[in-house]
Structure 1
Amino acid sequence: MLNSEKIGNEFYQNLGMLFYAVAMADNKIKPIEKARLQKYVRQHWLDVDDVEDEFHTDAAYQIEIVFDWLEGEEKDSNEYFEAFKGFYKDHPEKFTPKSKVLIIETAESIAHAFAGKNKSEMLAIFKLKQLFNH
């Protein structure tokens, strides 16, 4: 696998961590939040680029795979946000203005999926917007 493909896969894996952190900000993943993520992956993320994973499927599916895997872990959602933040700072070139907008839209859609955004989800999205503005 080429280094650019490896970083492309890591990009999507880190998005999975970020979206999990947003959904888990209130300490519970609701089925509707997961469904909203799947909808966004299929309707928006599959068309972002041509990066494939080692199984020759669209790397954007890594978002869902990582999200699902993290459900089995028992870590604080803030750890996953910090991991995403580290990837963002190490690879700012992967984050185009268009992808940043889509990331924020996806995060907000997940947060709105169940009875609107709550305070902890709003804080997670605020931190994301702050990160992108620096």
Structure 2
Amino acid sequence: MKNKQDSTTLFYQNLGELFYAIANADGVVEATEIETLKMVVKQAWSHSNNANIIVAMFDWLHDTKAHEAEVCFDNFLSYMTTNKVLFTPKTKALVLQTANAIASRFSGRNKSELILLAKLDIELKKI
């Protein structure tokens, strides 16, 4: 049971890392991006009791500035590649929807965010 709980936590932590990478792609995380993340997680990820882990990881990365966007993005891709079975078509669509909502929130998508969104879309289609 503990392994399942640990793997579930890790899944949501990696989503938080991805969404932080999208928000921080331009080197600045805007308050509206944080608000959007929290709103989308509450609405779209509410089917899971662990969705709050996404926000907690995002907040931790934002507060500590422990990793740059590209590192977080690469960490997510590595996790996704290793755990393909977790990324059902529904989950992949929800990941893209959430990432797009975050990127679009503050004055539209910028070049850095568009690049990460395109990479994410390509990688999700590979699995």
TM-score, normalised with respect to structure 2: 0.94
Q: Determine which structure has the larger helix proportion and give its number.
A: 2
Confirm or deny that 1:82 pairs with 2:74: yes
How far apart, in 2, do the equivalents of 1:18 and 1:115 lie?
A: 20
How far apart, in 2, do the equivalents of 1:79 and 1:124 lie?
A: 12
1:67 alignment counterpart: 58
What 5-or-longer segments of structure 1 have no aligned partner?
A: 50-57
Q: Secondary structure at the match of 1:46?
A: coil
**4+ residue stretches of structure 1 with deviation over 6 A?**
none
2:15 alignment counterpart: 15
TM-score, normalised with respect to structure 1: 0.89
How far apart, in 2, do the equivalents of 1:59 and 1:90 lie?
A: 21
> CA offset at residue 75 of structure 1?
2.6
Letter in 1 for 2:105: A
Identical-residue share of aligned pairs (%) = 37
Letter in 1 for 2:36: R
CA RMSD of aligned residues (A): 1.0
1:115 alignment counterpart: 107
Q: How many residues align?
A: 125
How far apart, in 1, do the equivalents of 2:38 and 2:23 lie?
A: 13
> CA offset at residue 101 of structure 1?
0.3
